[in-house]
Chain A
Amino acid sequence: MKMYIRSSACISPQYSLETKKFFNLRISPEADFIKCREPDYDLFVDPKMIRRMSRIVRMGVAAAITCLREGGVEMPSALITATAYGCLEDSASFLRRMIEFEEKMLSPTSFIQSTHNTVGAQIALMLKCHHYNNTIVHRFFSFENALIESDILLSEGNTDILLGAADEFTEDRHRILSRFGLYKKQGQKTGNFAGEGAAFFLLASSPGSSPALSISRPEMIFLPENMEETGAILNKLLRENGLTKNDIGLVLDSTTGNRTNDLPARTVLDQELKGIPSFPFKSLCGDYPTAVSFGVWMAALILKEQRAPEWMKDISFPLQHILVYHHTGASHHSFILVSAA
């Protein structure tokens, strides 16, 4: 089933809501993390409802509403949300109090707001949407799995599927993951840094406005035995979409500057995608498990506008196919094709 992107919206550390500025400015952190540029949420949500929404929920809701507005749809026929960490701030808050107060005098609000399906639930509540609603919480493949589910829903005759992903930065998440040695050291100019974001897409089985943008089913591999296996799924993706490597004008990859983590992907980039301009999308959104959704949003924008950010050199236009390559070390590799008709 061919999937079309009717509209999309993204809250990220870049000017992703003000897309005209997105191409000219590149915000890079000095620290080892970057946080989103957030809108005034009062413009999106009724104050009575906003008080129950933690930051990640606001990000998700604002991105979802913007996406629906741009797509001219009031009520999606299905709502699928992807997140790896869920509502971290509220989880940590409840956990802390539970330990500090020895299980006494605990507040219900942070517990209620901590469940992983809260983003999807709040969007449904706002829209009064009774339709299909699911939440995928599967680490680095949360977005890809949700995209596969969208594909199935479309092939079953649904249309106007609202698909989104969100993961938030919190102090606790950062402190703990830093202890695992994931991020660049103080003063280092290059290297991995933590990020966050929310990206939503309106998917349909027929194109909307011009240019028509389509997105493929993802090809994924979990725990590949070697990078040849990864190469094989890339070739499968191209074959199934009637394309060869020569058709790909741009690769957006997940390299971060962390040499060890990047090595398996560099092998694939060198062996399979040599000569094709390739740029790391995480240099804009930072590192978080569902960052691939930012990569896809960015690919869609580049194809729609037929131009690339100033710092991405040597890309030939007109551009028809962008390959989004999402990878984490050697354990998770996926490929998604975003194309202009």
Chain B
Amino acid sequence: MNPGPYIAGMGIVTSLGFGVESNLQSLISGEAGIGKMQFLQSAYRDELPVGEVKSENEQLSQLGNLPGGWPRTALLSALAAREALDQAGWDKKNAPRTGFISANTVGGMDRTENFFRPYIKNQDRGRLADVVYHECGAITELVAAQLGIRHFVSTVSTACSSSANSIFTGARMIRSGQLDFALVGGADALTLFTLNGFNTLMILDKELCQPFDENRRGLNLGEGAAYLLLCSEKGMDALKSKALGRLSGYANANDAFHQTASSPEGTGSFLAMKGALEKAGMEAADIDYINLHGTGTPNNDIAEGTAIRLLFQPSFPKMSSTKSFTGHTLGASGAVEAVYSVLALQHGLVFPNLRWQTPMKELPFKPVTALLKDQKMRHVMSNSFGFGGNCSSLIFSAA
């Protein structure tokens, strides 16, 4: 088996709350963060439930002691990133070879929307300050500069698999000896652009979502940010703190079927999960729990479910979708669910797939619907499958 880099720290902000502890408590108590839209000013605020971080931008700035005027994605990113570094006891003076690899899909779109309103009426209007951080990479650079990391900084953007890809890019840079520490993960804030974009695809649920349910109707969008601090053996020694787990397997494959829909057999998903097992030097039977991509759309859940059936049969690990708690946090989802996977490992828990009622008739398994405690957890798989056929799968193992 391939041990892979250590996880020395984690940080997270979602609709479940600020910080690892708040998120864990909500997962244990079964309290979802999805509900009526409070902060995003959309024409659909009474129609579409979302998983919002329950704070205005100003409060986020104050909480993180961050400059005013940052796009929301950067604020969420900075808060979660800071927690991961602090939890690990990372100090930039002792860690020159640290990389920051972050993911997002929206960039500074919330501010760009503000710019475009006057701009489309008159091209000389619109505040330039609103578009300075438009690019995905600009968000990462803002946060990197804030954290004092500049040795290696990068941004991945592959739709819903973005932060799963940024996580394992960091792992490979540690494995190849280029970095001692890699702060990896992602962030995405809710924006009108994404809400309306997904709405045109008619895949949003007007009620709270029901992933992997026969009568599922679609997904709920969410927002958030999460990071892991990965490190080498040498890095772990320098930190003198306890490892939370290891990233032992990872893989990335492309469905190459359609721009947005997954192939019915879940080819990309199958290849990603299989590849992650091979990388980890494991068999399917070694996986104790799968944190499903499980968006709740008719298409994803059957494609993912079929791929799991093909790969894991005849015996299936426990599985659940924590998007039933947070909604789909897009560019942050790979990282948010990575944190939840590590929490599952650390505490021997399997989190429930909320609001599940009816098994999918095509599948010979069903998700876990009530919290399971005292589980023997050696290896957890986390799936992230996105638009453009980008499919990624990560495997976390106990420290």
Q: Which residues of the other chain, A, contact B22 by a CB distance below 8 angstroms?
A: none
Residue of A99, A112, A175, A222 near B259 (CB, 8 A) is A112
Q: Mark B124-160, 1 if CB is under 8 A from A, else 0.
A: 1000100100011110110011000010011111110
A194 beta carbon closer than 8 Å to chain B: no
Residue contact B140 to A138, C-beta cutoff 8 Å: yes
Residue contact B135 to A137, C-beta cutoff 8 Å: yes
Residue contact B136 to A133, C-beta cutoff 8 Å: no
Residue contact A95 to B158, C-beta cutoff 8 Å: no
Residue contact B157 to A130, C-beta cutoff 8 Å: no
Q: Which residues of the other chain, B, contact A205 by a CB distance below 8 angstroms?
A: none
* A99 and B268 in contact, given A130-B254, A131-B253, A137-B155 (Cβ under 8 angstroms): no
B260 beta carbon closer than 8 Å to chain A: yes
Residue contact A179 to B128, C-beta cutoff 8 Å: yes
| Range of interface residues on B (Cβ < 8 Å) | 35 or more
* A86 and B136 in contact, given A127-B256, A130-B267, A132-B252 (Cβ under 8 angstroms): yes
Contacts between chains A and B (CB distance < 8 A), count: 172
Complex CA gap A112/B197 in Å reads: 8
* A95 and B112 in contact, given A130-B268, A134-B165, A222-B153 (Cβ under 8 angstroms): yes
Query: In the assembled complex, how far is the CB of residue B303 from the closest CB belonging to chain A, in whole angstroms?
Result: 14
A61 beta carbon closer than 8 Å to chain B: no
B87 beta carbon closer than 8 Å to chain A: no
Q: Mark A38-73, 1 if CB is under 8 A from B, else 0.
A: 000000000000001000000000000000000000
A240 beta carbon closer than 8 Å to chain B: no
Instruction: State which of A22-30, A141-149, A259-267, A303-311 sits at the interface with chain B.
Output: A141-149
Query: In the assembled complex, how far is the CB of residue A179 from the closest CB belonging to chain B, in whole angstroms?
Result: 6
Residue of A141, A176, A180 near B154 (CB, 8 A) is A141
Complex CA gap A117/B331 in Å reads: 12
Complex CA gap A180/B131 in Å reads: 11
Residue contact B137 to A84, C-beta cutoff 8 Å: yes
Q: List 6 A-B contacts (CB under 8 A).
A: A113-B259, A117-B157, A129-B256, A134-B169, A135-B156, A222-B153
Measured CB to CB, the residues of B under 8 A from A are 42-44, 105, 112-113, 116-117, 119-120, 123-124, 128, 131, 135-138, 140-141, 144-145, 150, 153-159, 165, 169, 172-173, 176, 178, 192-193, 196-197, 199-201, 252-260, 267-268, 271, 386-390
The 4 lowest CB-CB distance pairs between A and B, nearest first, are A121-B388, A111-B197, A139-B137, A138-B137
